[in-house]
Amino acid sequence: MAGTATDLQTLKDLATRIRIHSVESTTLAGSGHPTTSSSIADILSVLFFRTMRYKVSAPRDPSSDRFVLSKGHAAPALYGAWVENGAVPASDLKKLRQLGCDLEGHPTPRLNFIDVGTGSLGQGLAVAAGMAYLGKYIEEASYRVYCLIGDGESAEGSIWESVNFASHYGLDNLVLILDANRLGQTQPTMVGHQIDIYKRRLEAFDFNTIPVDGHDIGALVQAFDAAASVKGRPTAIIAKTYKGRDFPDIEDKENWHGKPLGGETEKILKHLKGLIRNQGKLKFNIPPPLSEVAPVTISNVRLSSPPNYKQGQVMATRAAYGNALVKLAESNPRVVALDGDMSNSTFSEAMKKYGPKNFIECFIAEQNLVGVAMGISCRDRTIAFVSTFAAFFTRAFDQIRMAAISQSNINICGSHCGVSIGEDGPSQMALEDLAMFRSIPGSTVFYPSDVVAVERAVELAANTKGITFIRTARAPTAVVYPNDQVFEVGKALVPISTNKDQALIIAAGITLHESLIAAKDLAKAGIHVRVLDPFTIKPIDKQGIINNAHQAGNRILVVEDHYPEGGIGEAVLSALAEERNIIVKHVAIPRVPRSGRPADLLNYYKIDAKNIVNHVDELLKK
Amino acid sequence: MAGTATDLQTLKDLATRIRIHSVESTTLAGSGHPTTSSSIADILSVLFFRTMRYKVSAPRDPSSDRFVLSKGHAAPALYGAWVENGAVPASDLKKLRQLGCDLEGHPTPRLNFIDVGTGSLGQGLAVAAGMAYLGKYIEEASYRVYCLIGDGESAEGSIWESVNFASHYGLDNLVLILDANRLGQTQPTMVGHQIDIYKRRLEAFDFNTIPVDGHDIGALVQAFDAAASVKGRPTAIIAKTYKGRDFPDIEDKENWHGKPLGGETEKILKHLKGLIRNQGKLKFNIPPPLSEVAPVTISNVRLSSPPNYKQGQVMATRAAYGNALVKLAESNPRVVALDGDMSNSTFSEAMKKYGPKNFIECFIAEQNLVGVAMGISCRDRTIAFVSTFAAFFTRAFDQIRMAAISQSNINICGSHCGVSIGEDGPSQMALEDLAMFRSIPGSTVFYPSDVVAVERAVELAANTKGITFIRTARAPTAVVYPNDQVFEVGKALVPISTNKDQALIIAAGITLHESLIAAKDLAKAGIHVRVLDPFTIKPIDKQGIINNAHQAGNRILVVEDHYPEGGIGEAVLSALAEERNIIVKHVAIPRVPRSGRPADLLNYYKIDAKNIVNHVDELLKK
């Protein structure tokens, strides 16, 4: 498969053809970013036709070099490269941005040559760093990872989280290319063409840096070759480029962001076509991977042994998370936990102790944390479990949103939910996490109420596609379920019921435990209530809720340690939207809570057993 | 008021007393972070008893220097400083972290000496940068701003967004103090005590840097004095400190994060008390502000002129946002718009053109964008309006969450909502923004459906406490309301109704317009439906919805350009939770959408007029 490296003139012509594709396709679409595409055309030409080792016929081959276009709005250039290498028919470009065409406005993995969706800026580098970490430390493979970011997006803090991570772990298989084209959407970037500023910043974070003329094909070839020989640290190629390069009267001009060339198109295309030296089919050589990585299987992963607790034993749900992860890792070495310096609180530390390939410390940088998890899980190479306090995943909402668009399979565990954490106060309490994770398309949201349920939630999550979330709690609570209890996604459990129930309480976590106490107290007073534990809040067991409500007086009390919006209450109400006759009383945390002892707070916010008794009394009057 | 500066030995003793308070209060509380408090005690002593100019009797005086404790878990030390300066009774510390005591686990503005809540790391510097920007550019005042961050939290990208912002704007009235105590929660930080690395990084971002022994009172005094004389750029004081300083056998040791000293308490207290030289009341001098800033009024701000559109005129709602801001600014010069390099898409550019004091360009860094808005709005000095694409506010969810805890009054406008933006694809479409903003406690969520409604939403937002959100759209739509239409928070409008309505359609934005068309088409077929525009999704007009549903067959169709969870549908269902007999059919975007022409996408996801007609037909069969 070895051959002569693609010559420089051919690379120049390929770059020009990428520009032509970008201009033609965006003009036809009537929208898009041709000038942004043009500034990176030479970089893409060198990467895709000389530097990167990959298989055109198998774009997601696990042995190949990876490329992440963090500045996703330059998609037309990327599509143009894949047209030129033969993977995409040129005719597809005529349908750019149209419904039904996978060549979308910004790249998504609907295309088989895209690993992750981009378009929300500053996110690609974390994914690329995850891929590089996987290659260097977990797979010990030869593939390299290239990530192209814009200069405007380098203002995103997430970029610097990832820069820090990449240098800390000495990811010498990672190359960051910074496309310094000087212009943002509305005005010049903060740094403009002061390449030396980028160089100083990246060197301060211990990157090897190579400033280069981003339109000099020969210089780019040399830069990538030089990067390949650097050991122990990542390289940043800082490319000085011009937005709208080779578009006369548009190059380096403001007010051309995100606009097709319209009436200028014909003139520009004529100019571009005049730059091409080799007419007809271009001869290039794309080098194959240096070595093949072994196939891995990450499906059908099971706990190595069933849960082993005693009913009535008191233990925080978060404490079972680490146990479950280790049991999964015992079944499959590709289970990897990631944490943000919280592993002794989330209990992912069990994996840290289990094995060096099974844990990645991401320090206090939640955006990068989620991005790295996306990176290691690409191409089905690992099963990633990410943990920190549930509240702090709000920091990565945009990354999680993009993970759904990216068809990522990542599992997220957020500990320390709700006011029941107590004294640390509102900044540490997750009270909007269910709302956030429910809003993620295709997500599965687990809210296990005891340690047995946690172990099964972790196991189910490992085998569930898309984004999964597991909500765990700080407070110790009793084991409710026997070790052989069967749990299913979308299947509620009913720990307390009689044939004369007057109301149905739906609760999870701490409020399930309070509800169980309340139910027993009510029963003593002759009032029978059924208690339903939804187990998954999304999907929620619609039919189970309806059936149980019908058998319990068509009255439901939902009580949750979450803000009123988007949590269990609204999930239940959505399930009942088209039902007549069932009424729902919904009790949640109505405002920013205070610090205090957990029991004091549960009482103050009216979600403890005593208050639940009162809520039931009120509900029965309606 | 001038006096002799507090002497060094007194400052040392005050630092020790801060340590004593931290140890005693956390041991009594049974939780908290005494070792983290100890590493900053000397810094706080110098700041609060020698460097900072402020009024103990008026902690939120607008002329005073500001202090932001970004590493909020060191709260006990900060509380100790305010005990020592006399503002807080020492006895309050005995109730640290208890329900009802405002000395919470992490600082919140329930205390009058706290401007913003902290505790989610990496956020304080953005707020401080906003305060400094306000002081330097808008108020042209003498006050200075001090922000103390931890070394662990410097891994948060948000810190580097703010560092970049502060240096870009040359905020020489801002001093960042980095408490490099070497230890994170679970292990040493990435950088440890390599102070030179922090120095290089911060200098690369054009900060003046002063490395200092963070336990050398004299050196700290000199460092702060030196910082005060630097012009044109911010200063970072990089303090090498030890976690648990002056706690024998604990200082600089791992595994002491976030733990009271328990059985070690007595020994440590004895040691600390032995360090104090001046027994009894300490004599210190807190310097007053150099100059007073003028009072400002930011209440009761009105549009300078009413909306001026024509019914039927076609115009995107986002386009009215800039008009409304300028009209507010004409009424009150303290209205300030902030944007993240999107001002020509969000239309905040109108403010950029209006006046240099009325617009802050924050570039592509949404976390810092929101933090700066919080900073400029502290102490009621400005009315801040922040804008970018609604989808990109997910990047700042944690900041927005903390803004609610901070009792911030900031107004957020997110443009480009929903699939109706079209070709740019899912990464740019806000489909979870209503879920996010509804989950913020105390928030007000506007979803204006035409340009008249936008202007009034902006005006109402300016006068509404807490976090407000205004959702605007890219697509041009018809003006629905007359210029004199009255809009109120929590009050729905009913643009179409008859006395024989069979169903109620609830919709907003693009789907309101499609619903109006559908209603007219249905009327032609003899089916009368009422259309309700909620105007605010939170609070939602509960009684209005119930009344109109009763008058329209107890059948509701909610159709929205948002994911199913947490948006209009669930807001409506929550309003109806305790109602019997009303059924709701809910149509939303069920999965990650594609790129395409807006009309194609509205049809594909079944939220256009034609599909709404079908949904009504189905609803009427139920």
DSSP conformation class of A48:
I
Q: At A430, is the secondary structure helix, strand, or coil?
A: strand
Query: Which chain B positions have a beta carbon within 8 Å of A423's beta carbon?
Result: 29-32, 97, 105
A546, with CB counted inside 10 A (0-12, 13-18, 19+), is middle
Per-residue pLDDT of A81-112, as tens digits, reads 999 999 999 999 999 999 999 999 999 999 99
CB contact under 8 A, A106 and B600: no
If we measure between CA atoms, which residue out of B50, B253, B20, B238 comes closest to residue B150?
B238
Query: d(Cα A463, Cα A452) in Å, to the nearest integer?
Result: 17
Residues 6+ apart with CB under 8 A from A221: A8, A11, A46, A50, A51
Please report, for chain A, how many H helices and E strands are present, in that order. 20, 19
Token readout for A621 is 């009057």
Q: Which amino acid is at A2?
A: A
Please provide residue B496's backbone torsions phi and psi, each rounded to the nearest 5 degrees. -135, 125
Sign of CA dihedral B199, B202, B203, B204: positive
Which residue do the tokens 């084991």 mark?
Answer: A479
Is B375 within 8 Å of chain A by CB?
no
Task: From the candidates A24, A139, A366, A514, give the one annotated as an active-site residue.
Answer: A366
**Chains A–B, number of C-beta pairs less than 8 Å apart:** 360
Q: Which amino acid is at B398?
A: D
If we measure between CA atoms, which residue out of A367, A361, A360, A362 comes closest to residue A394?
A367
Is A622 within 8 Å of chain B by CB?
yes
For chain B, what percentages of helix, strand and coil (3-state, to nearest 5) are there? Answer: 40, 15, 45
How much is the pLDDT for A1?
Answer: 41
Nearest to A435 among B117, B159, B566 (CB): B566
Question: Do B528 and B502 meet the contact criterion of CB atoms below 8 Å apart?
Answer: yes
Kindly identify which residue of chain A lies nearest to residue B167, measuring between CA atoms.
A190
If we measure between CA atoms, which residue out of B93, B98, B59, B64 comes closest to residue B76?
B93
Query: Is A156 known to be catalytic?
Result: no
How much is the pLDDT for A617?
Answer: 98
Residues 6+ apart with CB under 8 A from A472: A316, A317, A318, A320, A321, A346, A390, A413, A414, A415, A416, A417, A448, A454
pLDDT greater than 80 at residue A3: no
Cα three-residue angle B105-B106-B111, rounded to 5 degrees? 100
Query: Which chain B positions have a beta carbon within 8 Å of A164's beta carbon?
Result: 155, 190
Instruction: Mark which residues 64-83 of A lie under 8 Å from B by CB.
Output: 72
pLDDT greater than 90 at residue A468: yes
Token readout for A232 is 């122990």
The DSSP line for B200-215 is HHHHHTT-EEEEEETT
pLDDT tier for residue A281 given thresholds of 50, 70 and 90: confident
pLDDT greater than 60 at residue A429: yes
CB contact under 8 A, A439 and B565: yes
Question: Do B286 and B52 meet the contact criterion of CB atoms below 8 Å apart?
Answer: yes
Question: Do B558 and B587 meet the contact criterion of CB atoms below 8 Å apart?
Answer: yes
If we measure between CA atoms, which residue out of B336, B387, B378, B330 comes closest to residue B360?
B336
CB contact under 8 A, B583 and A579: yes
Nearest to A97 among B423, B566, B604 (CB): B423
Kindly identify which residue of chain A lies nearest to residue B579, measuring between CA atoms.
A583
Task: From the candidates B366, B455, B459, B570, give the one annotated as an active-site residue.
Answer: B366
Across A41-62, average pLDDT: 98
Nearest to B104 among A187, A574, A595 (CB): A595
Query: d(Cα A106, Cα A436) in Å, to the nearest integer?
Result: 23
CB contact under 8 A, B591 and A442: yes
Is B204 within 8 Å of chain A by CB?
yes
Question: Do A351 and A328 meet the contact criterion of CB atoms below 8 Å apart?
Answer: no
How much is the pLDDT for B1?
Answer: 42
Question: Do B582 and B576 meet the contact criterion of CB atoms below 8 Å apart?
Answer: yes
pLDDT greater than 70 at residue A52: yes
Cα three-residue angle B474-B480-B483, rounded to 5 degrees? 105
CB contact under 8 A, A364 and B156: yes
If we measure between CA atoms, which residue out of A562, A533, A508, A568 comes closest to residue A317?
A508
- The rounded percent of chain A whose pLDDT value lies above 70 is 100
If we measure between CA atoms, which residue out of A362, A150, A167 comes closest to residue B201?
A167
Query: d(Cα A448, Cα A507) in Å, to the nearest integer?
Result: 11
CA distances for A550 relative to A540, A544, A579, A580, B622, angstroms = 17, 10, 11, 11, 19
Please provide residue B149's backbone torsions phi and psi, each rounded to the nearest 5 degrees. -120, 160
Is B279 within 8 Å of chain A by CB?
no
| Mean pLDDT taken over chain A | 97
A358, with CB counted inside 10 A (0-12, 13-18, 19+), is buried
Q: How many CA atoms lie within 13 A of A116 on its CB side?
A: 40
Query: Which chain B positions have a beta carbon within 8 Å of A361's beta carbon?
Result: 186-187
How near does any CA of chain B get to the CA of A154, in Å? 8
- Most B CBs within 10 A among A33, A341, A587, hence the mutation to make, goes to A341
If we measure between CA atoms, which residue out of A351, A546, A352, A373 comes closest to residue A469?
A373
Query: d(Cα A467, Cα A464) in Å, to the nearest integer?
Result: 8
DSSP conformation class of A522:
H
For chain A, what percentages of helix, strand and coil (3-state, to nearest 5) are there? Answer: 40, 15, 45
Nearest to B97 among A395, A579, A595 (CB): A595
- Most A CBs within 10 A among B427, B438, B504, B582, hence the mutation to make, goes to B427
Please provide residue B27's backbone torsions phi and psi, each rounded to the nearest 5 degrees. -65, -45
Determine how many CB atoms are found less than 10 A away from the CB of residue B218: 13
Going by their DSSP bridges, the two strands B503-506 and B493-496 should be labelled as unpaired
Query: d(Cα A206, Cα B61) in Å, to the nearest integer?
Result: 43
Query: d(Cα A381, Cα A375) in Å, to the nearest integer?
Result: 10
pLDDT greater than 90 at residue A217: yes
B310, with CB counted inside 10 A (0-12, 13-18, 19+), is exposed
Is A243 within 8 Å of chain B by CB?
no
Q: What are the per-10-residue average pLDDT scores of chain B (622 residues)? A: 84 98 98 98 98 97 98 98 97 97 98 98 98 98 98 98 98 98 95 97 98 98 98 98 98 95 97 94 95 96 98 95 98 98 97 97 98 98 98 98 98 98 98 98 98 98 98 97 98 97 98 98 98 98 98 98 98 97 98 98 98 98 94
Query: Which chain B positions have a beta carbon within 8 Å of A364's beta carbon?
Result: 121-122, 152-153, 155-156, 184
Query: d(Cα B31, Cα A622) in Å, to the nearest integer?
Result: 43
pLDDT greater than 90 at residue A407: yes
Token readout for B59 is 């902690």
Query: d(Cα B319, Cα B556) in Å, to the nearest integer?
Result: 31
How much is the pLDDT for A2?
Answer: 53
Nearest to B397 among A98, A120, A394 (CB): A394
Is A192 within 8 Å of chain B by CB?
no
pLDDT greater than 90 at residue A280: no
If we measure between CA atoms, which residue out of B248, B234, B178, B238 comes closest to residue B206?
B234
How near does any CA of chain B get to the CA of A393, in Å? 8
If we measure between CA atoms, which residue out of A519, A504, A533, A505 comes closest to residue A317?
A533
Token readout for A322 is 């680490």
Q: What is the pTM of this model?
A: 0.98
- Most B CBs within 10 A among A161, A186, A343, hence the mutation to make, goes to A186
Query: Which chain A positions have a beta carbon within 8 Å of B184's beta carbon?
Result: 341, 363-364
CA distances for A445 relative to A432, A452, A564, B397, angstroms = 13, 17, 17, 19
Please report, for chain B, how many H helices and E strands are present, in that order. 21, 19
Across A603-622, average pLDDT: 98
Query: Which chain A positions have a beta carbon within 8 Å of B582's beta carbon?
Result: 580
